[in-house]
Structure 1
Amino acid sequence: MKSLTLLASLFALASSALAQSTAPQYGQCGGQSWTGATICPSGWSCTYSNPYYSQCLPGAATTTVSSITGGGGGSSSSPTSTSTSSAASGTTTLQAGYSFIRAVEDPNFHKYLQSETLNTPSTAVLGSPSTAGQFEITNGQLIYNANGTTPLYAVVEGRANSTVMKLGMSWSTTPASGANAGTFMWSGDTLEWSIPTITRPALNAWLVCPDAADNLLLYINLGPYDYQTPTGCADETIHAYTGATATP
Protein backbone atom coordinates (compact mmCIF):
# COMPACT_ATOMS: atom_id res chain seq x y z
CA MET A 1 0.00 0.00 0.00
CA LYS A 2 2.83 2.40 0.84
CA SER A 3 4.47 1.61 -2.50
CA LEU A 4 1.28 2.46 -4.39
CA THR A 5 0.93 5.72 -2.47
CA LEU A 6 4.54 6.62 -3.23
CA LEU A 7 4.08 5.87 -6.95
CA ALA A 8 0.94 8.01 -7.06
CA SER A 9 2.78 10.88 -5.40
CA LEU A 10 5.67 10.63 -7.85
CA PHE A 11 3.27 10.59 -10.79
CA ALA A 12 1.51 13.69 -9.49
CA LEU A 13 4.83 15.48 -9.05
CA ALA A 14 5.93 14.52 -12.58
CA SER A 15 2.65 15.75 -14.05
CA SER A 16 2.97 19.02 -12.16
CA ALA A 17 6.56 19.49 -13.36
CA LEU A 18 5.51 18.87 -16.96
CA ALA A 19 2.74 21.44 -16.74
CA GLN A 20 5.15 23.99 -15.25
CA SER A 21 7.89 23.47 -17.88
CA THR A 22 8.36 26.14 -20.52
CA ALA A 23 6.96 25.75 -24.03
CA PRO A 24 9.16 26.86 -26.97
CA GLN A 25 8.66 30.10 -28.86
CA TYR A 26 5.66 29.67 -31.21
CA GLY A 27 4.98 26.31 -29.52
CA GLN A 28 1.65 24.99 -28.25
CA CYS A 29 0.86 25.96 -24.66
CA GLY A 30 -2.78 24.98 -24.21
CA GLY A 31 -5.98 23.60 -25.66
CA GLN A 32 -8.50 20.88 -24.98
CA SER A 33 -6.73 17.70 -23.71
CA TRP A 34 -3.32 19.44 -23.89
CA THR A 35 -0.97 17.96 -21.25
CA GLY A 36 2.27 19.69 -22.23
CA ALA A 37 3.92 22.91 -21.09
CA THR A 38 1.60 25.83 -20.34
CA ILE A 39 4.19 28.52 -19.54
CA CYS A 40 5.81 30.62 -22.30
CA PRO A 41 9.32 32.12 -22.37
CA SER A 42 9.91 35.58 -20.94
CA GLY A 43 8.39 38.23 -23.23
CA TRP A 44 6.00 35.70 -24.79
CA SER A 45 2.42 34.87 -23.81
CA CYS A 46 0.11 31.89 -24.24
CA THR A 47 -2.39 33.22 -26.80
CA TYR A 48 -5.76 31.57 -27.36
CA SER A 49 -6.46 30.47 -30.93
CA ASN A 50 -9.41 28.10 -30.51
CA PRO A 51 -10.63 25.53 -27.94
CA TYR A 52 -8.06 23.04 -29.22
CA TYR A 53 -4.97 25.21 -29.61
CA SER A 54 -3.21 28.02 -27.75
CA GLN A 55 0.27 29.16 -28.78
CA CYS A 56 3.27 31.04 -27.37
CA LEU A 57 3.42 34.36 -29.25
CA PRO A 58 5.53 37.51 -28.68
CA GLY A 59 4.11 40.24 -26.47
CA ALA A 60 0.99 40.53 -24.36
CA ALA A 61 -1.80 37.97 -24.40
CA THR A 62 -4.87 38.49 -26.55
CA THR A 63 -8.43 37.73 -25.45
CA THR A 64 -9.82 35.87 -28.42
CA VAL A 65 -12.91 33.74 -27.81
CA SER A 66 -14.26 31.43 -30.48
CA SER A 67 -16.88 28.77 -30.92
CA ILE A 68 -16.45 25.58 -32.94
CA THR A 69 -19.21 23.72 -34.68
CA GLY A 70 -17.77 20.27 -35.31
CA GLY A 71 -17.63 18.49 -38.65
CA GLY A 72 -19.04 15.25 -39.89
CA GLY A 73 -21.92 14.79 -42.29
CA GLY A 74 -22.47 16.92 -45.36
CA SER A 75 -22.90 20.34 -43.79
CA SER A 76 -20.68 22.16 -41.34
CA SER A 77 -20.30 25.64 -39.98
CA SER A 78 -16.96 27.43 -39.96
CA PRO A 79 -15.38 28.30 -36.60
CA THR A 80 -16.56 31.81 -35.75
CA SER A 81 -14.46 34.50 -34.13
CA THR A 82 -16.12 36.70 -31.51
CA SER A 83 -13.02 38.74 -30.78
CA THR A 84 -11.75 42.09 -31.92
CA SER A 85 -8.21 41.53 -30.64
CA SER A 86 -5.34 42.41 -32.96
CA ALA A 87 -2.33 40.39 -34.07
CA ALA A 88 0.80 41.01 -36.08
CA SER A 89 1.30 40.71 -39.85
CA GLY A 90 -2.22 40.12 -41.18
CA THR A 91 -3.56 42.93 -43.35
CA THR A 92 -7.30 42.15 -43.23
CA THR A 93 -9.64 41.62 -40.29
CA LEU A 94 -11.39 38.28 -40.06
CA GLN A 95 -15.04 38.54 -41.08
CA ALA A 96 -17.79 37.10 -38.90
CA GLY A 97 -18.56 33.47 -39.75
CA TYR A 98 -15.19 32.85 -41.44
CA SER A 99 -11.81 31.47 -40.39
CA PHE A 100 -8.27 31.51 -41.66
CA ILE A 101 -6.81 28.08 -42.47
CA ARG A 102 -3.13 27.36 -41.85
CA ALA A 103 -0.50 24.67 -41.36
CA VAL A 104 0.94 24.42 -37.85
CA GLU A 105 4.14 22.43 -38.33
CA ASP A 106 7.42 22.73 -40.22
CA PRO A 107 8.36 23.23 -42.97
CA ASN A 108 5.16 25.19 -43.61
CA PHE A 109 4.52 26.53 -40.11
CA HIS A 110 1.83 29.24 -40.22
CA LYS A 111 1.57 29.31 -43.98
CA TYR A 112 -2.03 30.22 -44.83
CA LEU A 113 -4.48 28.88 -47.39
CA GLN A 114 -5.11 31.21 -50.34
CA SER A 115 -5.06 31.26 -54.15
CA GLU A 116 -1.89 31.31 -56.23
CA THR A 117 -3.15 34.39 -58.09
CA LEU A 118 -4.55 36.32 -55.18
CA ASN A 119 -8.36 36.34 -54.86
CA THR A 120 -8.93 34.88 -58.32
CA PRO A 121 -9.81 31.41 -59.68
CA SER A 122 -6.44 29.64 -59.59
CA THR A 123 -4.51 26.90 -57.81
CA ALA A 124 -4.89 26.47 -54.05
CA VAL A 125 -1.63 27.22 -52.24
CA LEU A 126 -0.27 28.00 -48.79
CA GLY A 127 1.35 31.43 -48.46
CA SER A 128 2.07 34.49 -46.38
CA PRO A 129 -0.15 35.62 -43.48
CA SER A 130 -0.35 39.02 -45.15
CA THR A 131 -2.35 37.51 -48.05
CA ALA A 132 -4.28 34.86 -46.11
CA GLY A 133 -7.72 33.94 -47.38
CA GLN A 134 -10.88 33.63 -45.28
CA PHE A 135 -13.10 30.57 -45.46
CA GLU A 136 -16.35 28.93 -44.45
CA ILE A 137 -17.93 25.53 -45.10
CA THR A 138 -21.52 25.43 -46.30
CA ASN A 139 -23.26 22.19 -47.35
CA GLY A 140 -19.90 20.47 -47.74
CA GLN A 141 -18.48 23.22 -49.96
CA LEU A 142 -15.30 25.04 -48.89
CA ILE A 143 -15.91 28.69 -49.79
CA TYR A 144 -13.18 31.33 -50.12
CA ASN A 145 -14.30 34.88 -49.32
CA ALA A 146 -12.11 36.45 -52.01
CA ASN A 147 -11.83 40.25 -51.72
CA GLY A 148 -14.64 40.14 -49.18
CA THR A 149 -17.21 40.10 -51.97
CA THR A 150 -16.56 37.36 -54.54
CA PRO A 151 -17.05 33.76 -53.33
CA LEU A 152 -14.73 31.13 -54.78
CA TYR A 153 -15.31 27.40 -54.33
CA ALA A 154 -12.75 24.66 -53.71
CA VAL A 155 -12.66 22.14 -56.56
CA VAL A 156 -10.71 18.88 -56.27
CA GLU A 157 -9.38 17.24 -59.42
CA GLY A 158 -10.70 13.83 -60.37
CA ARG A 159 -8.65 10.71 -59.69
CA ALA A 160 -7.39 9.36 -63.00
CA ASN A 161 -6.76 5.84 -61.65
CA SER A 162 -5.99 3.95 -58.45
CA THR A 163 -2.25 4.67 -58.67
CA VAL A 164 -2.81 8.43 -58.20
CA MET A 165 -2.21 9.23 -54.52
CA LYS A 166 -2.62 13.01 -54.41
CA LEU A 167 -5.29 15.28 -55.83
CA GLY A 168 -4.78 18.95 -56.63
CA MET A 169 -7.19 21.60 -55.41
CA SER A 170 -8.09 24.88 -57.09
CA TRP A 171 -10.60 27.72 -56.77
CA SER A 172 -13.56 28.21 -59.08
CA THR A 173 -16.36 30.75 -59.44
CA THR A 174 -18.87 27.86 -59.51
CA PRO A 175 -19.46 25.26 -56.76
CA ALA A 176 -17.98 21.80 -57.07
CA SER A 177 -20.44 19.27 -58.48
CA GLY A 178 -20.67 15.80 -59.91
CA ALA A 179 -18.70 12.67 -59.09
CA ASN A 180 -15.56 14.53 -58.00
CA ALA A 181 -17.19 17.06 -55.68
CA GLY A 182 -16.57 15.36 -52.35
CA THR A 183 -17.37 16.91 -48.97
CA PHE A 184 -15.34 19.32 -46.86
CA MET A 185 -15.89 19.28 -43.10
CA TRP A 186 -14.38 20.37 -39.80
CA SER A 187 -13.19 17.86 -37.23
CA GLY A 188 -12.52 20.13 -34.28
CA ASP A 189 -10.39 22.80 -35.94
CA THR A 190 -8.92 20.45 -38.58
CA LEU A 191 -10.01 20.58 -42.23
CA GLU A 192 -11.03 17.22 -43.73
CA TRP A 193 -12.25 16.05 -47.12
CA SER A 194 -14.04 12.85 -48.05
CA ILE A 195 -15.70 11.32 -51.10
CA PRO A 196 -17.71 8.07 -51.34
CA THR A 197 -15.62 6.69 -54.21
CA ILE A 198 -12.26 6.83 -52.35
CA THR A 199 -11.28 5.21 -49.08
CA ARG A 200 -8.67 7.37 -47.34
CA PRO A 201 -6.61 6.20 -44.33
CA ALA A 202 -6.77 9.75 -42.90
CA LEU A 203 -9.41 12.28 -43.90
CA ASN A 204 -7.25 15.15 -42.61
CA ALA A 205 -4.09 14.24 -44.58
CA TRP A 206 -2.76 16.92 -46.96
CA LEU A 207 0.44 17.39 -48.93
CA VAL A 208 2.27 20.62 -49.67
CA CYS A 209 4.50 20.39 -52.74
CA PRO A 210 6.50 23.39 -54.04
CA ASP A 211 6.51 23.94 -57.80
CA ALA A 212 9.38 25.32 -59.87
CA ALA A 213 8.44 28.88 -58.85
CA ASP A 214 8.34 27.89 -55.14
CA ASN A 215 4.56 28.20 -54.92
CA LEU A 216 3.38 25.87 -52.12
CA LEU A 217 0.76 23.82 -53.96
CA LEU A 218 -1.82 22.09 -51.77
CA TYR A 219 -2.92 18.52 -52.45
CA ILE A 220 -5.30 16.08 -50.80
CA ASN A 221 -3.25 13.08 -49.70
CA LEU A 222 -4.99 9.81 -50.54
CA GLY A 223 -2.36 7.69 -48.80
CA PRO A 224 -1.33 7.27 -45.16
CA TYR A 225 -0.27 10.41 -43.33
CA ASP A 226 3.51 10.80 -42.98
CA TYR A 227 4.25 7.59 -44.91
CA GLN A 228 5.54 7.15 -48.45
CA THR A 229 5.53 10.93 -48.84
CA PRO A 230 6.13 11.96 -52.48
CA THR A 231 9.60 13.37 -53.11
CA GLY A 232 9.77 17.11 -52.48
CA CYS A 233 6.43 17.22 -50.63
CA ALA A 234 5.63 17.62 -46.94
CA ASP A 235 2.82 15.97 -44.99
CA GLU A 236 0.55 18.50 -43.30
CA THR A 237 -2.71 18.86 -41.47
CA ILE A 238 -4.35 22.27 -41.85
CA HIS A 239 -6.33 24.03 -39.16
CA ALA A 240 -8.82 26.84 -38.60
CA TYR A 241 -7.49 29.97 -36.92
CA THR A 242 -9.94 32.58 -35.69
CA GLY A 243 -7.73 35.37 -34.41
CA ALA A 244 -8.64 38.85 -35.60
CA THR A 245 -5.82 38.83 -38.17
CA ALA A 246 -3.46 36.18 -39.55
CA THR A 247 -0.35 35.79 -37.42
CA PRO A 248 3.09 34.63 -38.57
Structure 2
Amino acid sequence: MPSPPHRDDPTYAMIRGRALLMLNRDNPTQAMTILEQDDPPAAAVRYLQALTDAQQGRPDAALKTLDELAGDYPDLSMIPATAAQVTYDAGRHQDALARARHILRLSPGYYPAQWVQAEALVQTAPTQAFDVLRDMSEQYPEDPNVFGLLSEAAGRTGRDAWGQLARAEQLQLEGRIDTAIRQIDSAEDVAKRSGDYAMASRVEQRRKDFLGYRETMRSF
Protein backbone atom coordinates (compact mmCIF):
# COMPACT_ATOMS: atom_id res chain seq x y z
CA MET A 1 0.00 0.00 0.00
CA PRO A 2 1.45 3.41 -0.94
CA SER A 3 2.24 5.90 1.81
CA PRO A 4 -0.32 8.66 2.41
CA PRO A 5 0.47 11.84 0.49
CA HIS A 6 2.95 14.12 2.28
CA ARG A 7 3.35 11.70 5.20
CA ASP A 8 7.13 11.99 5.09
CA ASP A 9 7.16 15.73 4.41
CA PRO A 10 8.15 17.51 7.64
CA THR A 11 6.85 20.87 6.44
CA TYR A 12 3.41 19.49 5.69
CA ALA A 13 3.34 17.62 9.01
CA MET A 14 4.40 20.72 10.96
CA ILE A 15 1.68 22.81 9.35
CA ARG A 16 -0.82 20.06 10.07
CA GLY A 17 0.30 19.92 13.70
CA ARG A 18 -0.17 23.67 14.05
CA ALA A 19 -3.64 23.43 12.54
CA LEU A 20 -4.54 20.58 14.89
CA LEU A 21 -3.46 22.63 17.89
CA MET A 22 -5.64 25.53 16.74
CA LEU A 23 -8.58 23.13 16.51
CA ASN A 24 -7.82 21.63 19.92
CA ARG A 25 -6.61 24.65 21.88
CA ASP A 26 -8.27 23.41 25.06
CA ASN A 27 -6.85 19.91 24.66
CA PRO A 28 -3.37 19.97 23.10
CA THR A 29 -2.86 16.32 24.05
CA GLN A 30 -5.61 15.49 21.57
CA ALA A 31 -3.79 17.43 18.86
CA MET A 32 -0.64 15.40 19.49
CA THR A 33 -2.58 12.12 19.53
CA ILE A 34 -4.16 12.86 16.16
CA LEU A 35 -0.86 13.93 14.63
CA GLU A 36 0.98 10.83 15.85
CA GLN A 37 -1.66 8.51 14.37
CA ASP A 38 -0.17 9.13 10.93
CA ASP A 39 3.41 8.34 12.02
CA PRO A 40 4.69 11.85 11.17
CA PRO A 41 8.36 12.83 10.96
CA ALA A 42 9.90 13.35 14.39
CA ALA A 43 10.48 17.02 13.55
CA ALA A 44 6.73 17.60 13.32
CA VAL A 45 6.17 16.08 16.75
CA ARG A 46 8.88 18.31 18.22
CA TYR A 47 7.39 21.35 16.47
CA LEU A 48 3.93 20.66 17.84
CA GLN A 49 5.40 20.14 21.32
CA ALA A 50 7.12 23.52 21.04
CA LEU A 51 3.84 25.18 20.06
CA THR A 52 2.14 23.48 22.99
CA ASP A 53 4.87 24.65 25.37
CA ALA A 54 4.44 28.21 24.12
CA GLN A 55 0.67 28.05 24.47
CA GLN A 56 0.98 26.77 28.03
CA GLY A 57 3.36 29.50 29.15
CA ARG A 58 6.71 27.76 28.68
CA PRO A 59 8.39 29.99 26.09
CA ASP A 60 11.95 29.00 27.04
CA ALA A 61 11.24 25.33 26.41
CA ALA A 62 9.46 26.21 23.17
CA LEU A 63 12.34 28.36 21.93
CA LYS A 64 14.96 25.74 22.80
CA THR A 65 13.15 23.20 20.63
CA LEU A 66 12.44 25.65 17.82
CA ASP A 67 16.03 26.88 17.68
CA GLU A 68 17.26 23.29 17.52
CA LEU A 69 14.80 22.53 14.73
CA ALA A 70 15.88 25.65 12.85
CA GLY A 71 19.43 24.31 12.93
CA ASP A 72 18.25 20.96 11.60
CA TYR A 73 16.14 22.53 8.84
CA PRO A 74 17.90 25.78 7.87
CA ASP A 75 15.82 26.18 4.70
CA LEU A 76 12.46 26.24 6.52
CA SER A 77 11.80 29.90 7.34
CA MET A 78 8.59 28.82 9.06
CA ILE A 79 10.52 27.51 12.07
CA PRO A 80 12.49 30.65 13.01
CA ALA A 81 9.41 32.73 12.19
CA THR A 82 7.47 30.68 14.72
CA ALA A 83 10.26 31.26 17.23
CA ALA A 84 10.07 35.00 16.58
CA GLN A 85 6.32 34.97 17.19
CA VAL A 86 6.74 32.96 20.39
CA THR A 87 9.35 35.48 21.53
CA TYR A 88 7.02 38.39 20.78
CA ASP A 89 4.10 36.74 22.55
CA ALA A 90 6.34 36.28 25.60
CA GLY A 91 6.83 40.05 25.72
CA ARG A 92 10.45 39.97 24.54
CA HIS A 93 9.94 42.58 21.87
CA GLN A 94 13.55 43.48 21.08
CA ASP A 95 14.52 39.83 20.79
CA ALA A 96 11.52 39.19 18.54
CA LEU A 97 12.52 42.12 16.36
CA ALA A 98 16.08 40.83 16.03
CA ARG A 99 14.83 37.36 15.12
CA ALA A 100 12.37 38.71 12.53
CA ARG A 101 14.99 40.93 10.92
CA HIS A 102 17.43 38.03 10.69
CA ILE A 103 14.83 36.01 8.77
CA LEU A 104 14.06 38.94 6.47
CA ARG A 105 17.74 39.33 5.61
CA LEU A 106 17.68 35.76 4.34
CA SER A 107 14.11 35.71 2.98
CA PRO A 108 13.01 39.25 2.08
CA GLY A 109 9.26 39.62 1.88
CA TYR A 110 8.51 36.57 4.05
CA TYR A 111 5.16 37.56 5.52
CA PRO A 112 5.30 35.84 8.94
CA ALA A 113 8.61 37.58 9.67
CA GLN A 114 7.30 40.89 8.32
CA TRP A 115 4.35 40.58 10.66
CA VAL A 116 6.45 39.94 13.78
CA GLN A 117 8.75 42.80 12.82
CA ALA A 118 5.75 45.14 12.52
CA GLU A 119 4.23 43.95 15.82
CA ALA A 120 7.52 44.45 17.64
CA LEU A 121 8.10 47.87 16.10
CA VAL A 122 4.66 49.06 17.18
CA GLN A 123 5.77 48.35 20.74
CA THR A 124 9.35 49.64 20.48
CA ALA A 125 9.50 52.20 17.64
CA PRO A 126 5.98 53.19 16.51
CA THR A 127 7.18 55.82 14.03
CA GLN A 128 9.24 53.20 12.24
CA ALA A 129 6.35 50.77 12.55
CA PHE A 130 4.10 53.24 10.75
CA ASP A 131 6.47 53.38 7.77
CA VAL A 132 6.86 49.59 7.68
CA LEU A 133 3.11 49.07 7.87
CA ARG A 134 2.43 51.67 5.17
CA ASP A 135 4.62 49.57 2.88
CA MET A 136 2.92 46.36 4.00
CA SER A 137 -0.53 47.84 3.35
CA GLU A 138 0.52 48.39 -0.27
CA GLN A 139 2.03 44.93 -0.51
CA TYR A 140 -0.99 43.24 1.12
CA PRO A 141 -3.95 45.50 0.30
CA GLU A 142 -6.47 42.75 1.07
CA ASP A 143 -5.19 41.93 4.57
CA PRO A 144 -7.37 43.51 7.29
CA ASN A 145 -4.85 42.60 10.00
CA VAL A 146 -2.20 44.80 8.39
CA PHE A 147 -4.58 47.76 8.37
CA GLY A 148 -5.57 47.10 11.96
CA LEU A 149 -1.94 47.22 13.06
CA LEU A 150 -1.33 50.26 10.86
CA SER A 151 -4.20 51.99 12.66
CA GLU A 152 -2.54 51.24 16.00
CA ALA A 153 0.84 52.53 14.83
CA ALA A 154 -0.79 55.70 13.48
CA GLY A 155 -2.58 56.27 16.77
CA ARG A 156 0.64 55.87 18.74
CA THR A 157 2.37 58.51 16.61
CA GLY A 158 -0.39 61.14 16.58
CA ARG A 159 -1.46 60.48 12.99
CA ASP A 160 -5.15 60.52 13.84
CA ALA A 161 -6.50 60.80 10.29
CA TRP A 162 -4.29 57.95 9.14
CA GLY A 163 -5.42 55.89 12.09
CA GLN A 164 -9.07 56.45 11.24
CA LEU A 165 -8.49 55.71 7.55
CA ALA A 166 -6.60 52.50 8.30
CA ARG A 167 -9.36 51.40 10.64
CA ALA A 168 -11.91 52.11 7.89
CA GLU A 169 -9.89 50.00 5.46
CA GLN A 170 -9.82 47.18 7.99
CA LEU A 171 -13.58 47.34 8.47
CA GLN A 172 -14.38 47.27 4.76
CA LEU A 173 -12.04 44.32 4.23
CA GLU A 174 -13.92 42.51 6.99
CA GLY A 175 -17.17 43.16 5.11
CA ARG A 176 -18.48 45.79 7.56
CA ILE A 177 -18.99 48.38 4.86
CA ASP A 178 -21.55 50.64 6.58
CA THR A 179 -19.36 50.93 9.67
CA ALA A 180 -16.36 51.53 7.42
CA ILE A 181 -18.12 54.44 5.71
CA ARG A 182 -18.94 56.03 9.07
CA GLN A 183 -15.32 55.56 10.08
CA ILE A 184 -14.03 57.14 6.89
CA ASP A 185 -16.37 60.12 7.39
CA SER A 186 -14.70 60.60 10.77
CA ALA A 187 -11.26 60.36 9.14
CA GLU A 188 -12.22 63.09 6.66
CA ASP A 189 -13.40 65.36 9.49
CA VAL A 190 -10.13 64.87 11.36
CA ALA A 191 -8.06 65.59 8.25
CA LYS A 192 -9.97 68.77 7.49
CA ARG A 193 -9.83 70.02 11.07
CA SER A 194 -6.07 69.56 11.10
CA GLY A 195 -5.68 71.38 7.78
CA ASP A 196 -4.26 68.31 6.04
CA TYR A 197 -6.05 68.77 2.75
CA ALA A 198 -3.93 66.23 0.90
CA MET A 199 -5.05 63.62 3.41
CA ALA A 200 -8.63 64.87 3.21
CA SER A 201 -8.52 64.41 -0.57
CA ARG A 202 -7.15 60.89 -0.17
CA VAL A 203 -9.88 60.02 2.30
CA GLU A 204 -12.58 61.52 0.09
CA GLN A 205 -11.46 59.32 -2.80
CA ARG A 206 -11.56 56.23 -0.60
CA ARG A 207 -15.04 57.23 0.56
CA LYS A 208 -16.20 57.24 -3.06
CA ASP A 209 -14.60 53.82 -3.50
CA PHE A 210 -16.37 52.52 -0.40
CA LEU A 211 -19.72 53.79 -1.62
CA GLY A 212 -19.07 51.98 -4.88
CA TYR A 213 -18.22 48.79 -3.00
CA ARG A 214 -21.48 49.06 -1.07
CA GLU A 215 -23.53 49.47 -4.24
CA THR A 216 -21.80 46.46 -5.75
CA MET A 217 -22.53 44.39 -2.65
CA ARG A 218 -26.17 45.40 -2.72
CA SER A 219 -26.51 44.37 -6.35
CA PHE A 220 -25.82 40.73 -5.50
Q: After TM superposition, is the score higher than 0.5?
A: no
Higher-strand-fraction structure = 1
Structure ranking higher on relative contact order (CA contacts 8 Å, 6+ apart): 1
Larger radius of gyration: 2
Please report the TM-score for the alignment, with normalisation by the length of structure 2. 0.32
Please report the TM-score for the alignment, with normalisation by the length of structure 1. 0.29
